């Protein structure tokens, strides 16, 4: 599949926005969907629909097989050792909540420390905050440096004998910094501390290898990977999924249910209570096929070229200030313009069909640290081109004109 021609695989680009071609630069928020994924959802509901894992009729068996196929595809895609290490959730947020809640139950007590970073999205902070409230757990934050990175040294500085788990993002959704996960895991494991990685931005833009990274937990958001909404994945090492308690109770996750007691099901059912997002799981297999067909290596190369080009043109644009200058940077260009609030930028860009995000991008801790209330963010996907970035730049110039900036 040729990457330069890939927009035509995404039906959304057939539409106009305010009579302009859509320049979609909000993929860190959510990516657009290739036709194969959309079609798969339609086909499943119109030809193959059934609930999974319960009935023995033809449709139920076929749907169950399709559902489990995706689990195996995900396992291969992220090179996990065992397909039972893949748990479907309603999103990466639920995946992190699952870990915080169950790990918290078994392993955290008053005074214990959870080590996060200043780059974390709210979804890798708020679930831990619950434990601060309920158990008196302490939360520490590894600091960013002036380039918007969190280094291994910065993590090391905050590890104490009380650190019980480390939660880090793989790729910052604001500065774009790619964290040295493998080294962080090695360091943490040398001190017997497990590591959870928020892989929301990592999974769509980096090549994943769970066995190589060796992290204990990795949370994935499928809708940021050209997949359906309402679906996330928790990768967790088998030893954790076996040891930790179930997260939600309900149908499908049980062994035996008696008036006097209940046993729980085996993996992966133990963590998949209730009717799951069946159509989304089955359609997500098409997202993985799509990524494999294009090739992660090609996607990484393409996005690297774009991010370098984007930085180059925005740096040349007076009054645009890029946020963060990490040595390894992926997929996002966050910026501010002196004299124009990010929301005004986003509204003016939208008029030209240029879709970006403005606000704190669910990273208030980071924005407080940077001492800005909000920022504008252009984030990239496989379908973006240099032409998209040129249009971004010319729309920024239009903002400056409206606000009479030079």
Catalytic residues: 362
Indicate which single residue of 341, 369, 390, 393 sits in contact with another protein (rule: CB under 8 A).
341
CB of 149 to another protein, least distance (A): 23
Question: Backbone phi, then psi, for 128, in 5-degree steps?
Answer: -75, -30
Residue 211 or 394: which CB sits closer to another protein? Answer: 394
Q: Contact at 8 Å (CB) between 183 and 213?
A: no
Stretch in the footprint of another protein (CB under 8 A) among 2-10, 82-90, 129-137, 355-363? 355-363
Indicate which single residue of 109, 343, 387, 394 sits in contact with another protein (rule: CB under 8 A).
343
Collapsed DSSP state (helix, strand, coil) of residue 24: strand
Site membership for another protein, residue 275 (CB under 8 A): no
CB of 340 to another protein, least distance (A): 8
> What strand order describes the sheet that includes 320-322?
320-322, 332-337, 375-379, 357-359
Distance, in Å, from the CA atom of 94 to the CA atom of 67, rounded to the nearest integer, reads 19
The two beta strands, 113-117 and 138-142, are parallel
Site membership for another protein, residue 16 (CB under 8 A): no
User: What residues numbered 385-404 form the site for another protein, per CB under 8 A?
Assistant: 402-404
Stretch in the footprint of another protein (CB under 8 A) among 5-13, 187-195, 262-270, 347-355? 347-355
Q: Which of 390, 387, 353 is nearest to 4 (CA)?
A: 387
Q: Which two tokens stand for residue 148?
A: 């918007």
Indicate which single residue of 43, 112, 143, 351 sits in contact with another protein (rule: CB under 8 A).
351
Q: Contact at 8 Å (CB) between 238 and 267?
A: yes
Distances 324 to 143, 153, 203, 238, 330 between C-alpha atoms, Å:
13, 18, 21, 36, 11
DSSP 111: T
CB of 343 to another protein, least distance (A): 4
Sign of the four-CA dihedral 199, 201, 202, 203: positive
Distance, in Å, from the CA atom of 285 to the CA atom of 68, rounded to the nearest integer, reads 10
For 314-344, b where at least 16 C-beta lie within 10 A, e where not — what string? beebebbebbbbbeebbbbbbbbbeebebeb
Sign of the four-CA dihedral 210, 213, 214, 216: negative
Site membership for another protein, residue 259 (CB under 8 A): no
Number of residues engaging another protein in binding (CB under 8 A): 20
Residue 236 or 374: which CB sits closer to another protein? Answer: 374
Site membership for another protein, residue 344 (CB under 8 A): yes
Determine the distance from the C-alpha atom of residue 193 to the mean position of all C-alpha atoms in its chain, rounded to a whole number: 23
Residue 308 or 368: which CB sits closer to another protein? Answer: 368
Residue 268 or 353: which CB sits closer to another protein? Answer: 353
Site membership for another protein, residue 340 (CB under 8 A): yes
Site membership for another protein, residue 373 (CB under 8 A): yes
Indicate which single residue of 8, 257, 339, 394 sits in contact with another protein (rule: CB under 8 A).
339
Residue 229 or 364: which CB sits closer to another protein? Answer: 364
Distance, in Å, from the CA atom of 183 to the CA atom of 188, rounded to the nearest integer, reads 8
CB of 367 to another protein, least distance (A): 7
Stretch in the footprint of another protein (CB under 8 A) among 74-82, 158-166, 279-287, 340-348? 340-348
Distance, in Å, from the CA atom of 114 to the CA atom of 177, rounded to the nearest integer, reads 21
- The phi-psi region of residue 21 (left if phi > 0; otherwise alpha if psi is between -120 and 50; otherwise beta) is beta
Site membership for another protein, residue 347 (CB under 8 A): yes
Residue 49 or 403: which CB sits closer to another protein? Answer: 403
Give the H or E element holding residue 189: helix 181-190
Contact characters 294-333, another protein, x per CB under 8 A: ----------------------------------------
CB of 305 to another protein, least distance (A): 32
Site membership for another protein, residue 359 (CB under 8 A): yes
Site membership for another protein, residue 342 (CB under 8 A): yes
List residues near another protein by CB under 8 A: 18, 339-344, 347-348, 351, 358-360, 364, 367, 373-374, 402-404
């Amino acid at each position: 599949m040729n990457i330069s021609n890939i927009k035509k695989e995404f039906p959304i680009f057939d539409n106009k926005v305010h009579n302009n071609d859509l320049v979609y630069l909000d993929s860190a928020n959510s990516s657009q969907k290739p036709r194969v994924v959309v079609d798969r959802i339609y086909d499943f509901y119109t030809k193959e629909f059934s609930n999974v894992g319960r009935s023995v009729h033809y449709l139920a068996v076929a749907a169950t097989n399709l559902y489990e196929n995706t689990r195996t595809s995900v396992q291969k895609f992220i090179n996990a050792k065992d397909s039972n290490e893949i748990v479907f959730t309603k999103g990466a947020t639920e995946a992190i909540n699952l870990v915080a809640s169950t790990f918290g139950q078994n392993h955290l007590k008053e005074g214990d420390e959870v080590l996060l970073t200043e780059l974390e999205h709210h979804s890798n902070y708020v679930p831990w905050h619950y434990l601060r409230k309920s158990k008196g757990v302490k939360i520490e934050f590894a600091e960013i440096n002036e380039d918007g990175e969190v280094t291994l040294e910065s993590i090391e500085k905050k590890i104490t004998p009380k650190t019980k788990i480390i939660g880090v993002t793989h790729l910052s959704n604001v500065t774009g910094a790619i964290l040295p996960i493998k080294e962080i895991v090695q360091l943490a494991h040398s001190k017997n501390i497990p590591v959870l990685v928020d892989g929301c931005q990592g999974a769509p833009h980096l090549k994943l290898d769970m066995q190589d990274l060796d992290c204990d937990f990795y949370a994935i958001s499928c809708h940021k990977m050209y997949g359906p909404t309402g679906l996330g994945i928790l990768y967790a090492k088998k030893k954790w999924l076996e040891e930790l308690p179930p997260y939600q109770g309900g149908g499908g996750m049980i062994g035996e249910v008696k008036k006097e007691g209940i046993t729980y099901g085996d993996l992966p059912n133990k963590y998949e209570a209730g009717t799951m997002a069946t159509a989304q799981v089955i359609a997500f297999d098409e997202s993985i096929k799509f990524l494999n067909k294009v090739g992660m290596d090609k996607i990484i190369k393409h996005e690297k070229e774009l991010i370098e080009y984007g930085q180059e043109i925005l740096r040349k644009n007076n009054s645009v200030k890029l946020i963060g200058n990490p040595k390894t940077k992926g997929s996002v260009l966050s910026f501010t313009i002196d004299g124009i609030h990010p929301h005004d930028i986003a509204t003016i860009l939208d008029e030209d069909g240029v879709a970006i995000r403005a606000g704190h991008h669910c990273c208030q801790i980071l924005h407080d640290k940077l001492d800005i209330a909000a920022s504008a963010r252009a984030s990239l996907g496989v379908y973006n081109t240099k032409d998209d970035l040129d249009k971004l730049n010319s729309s920024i110039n239009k903002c400056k004109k409206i606000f009479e900036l030079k």
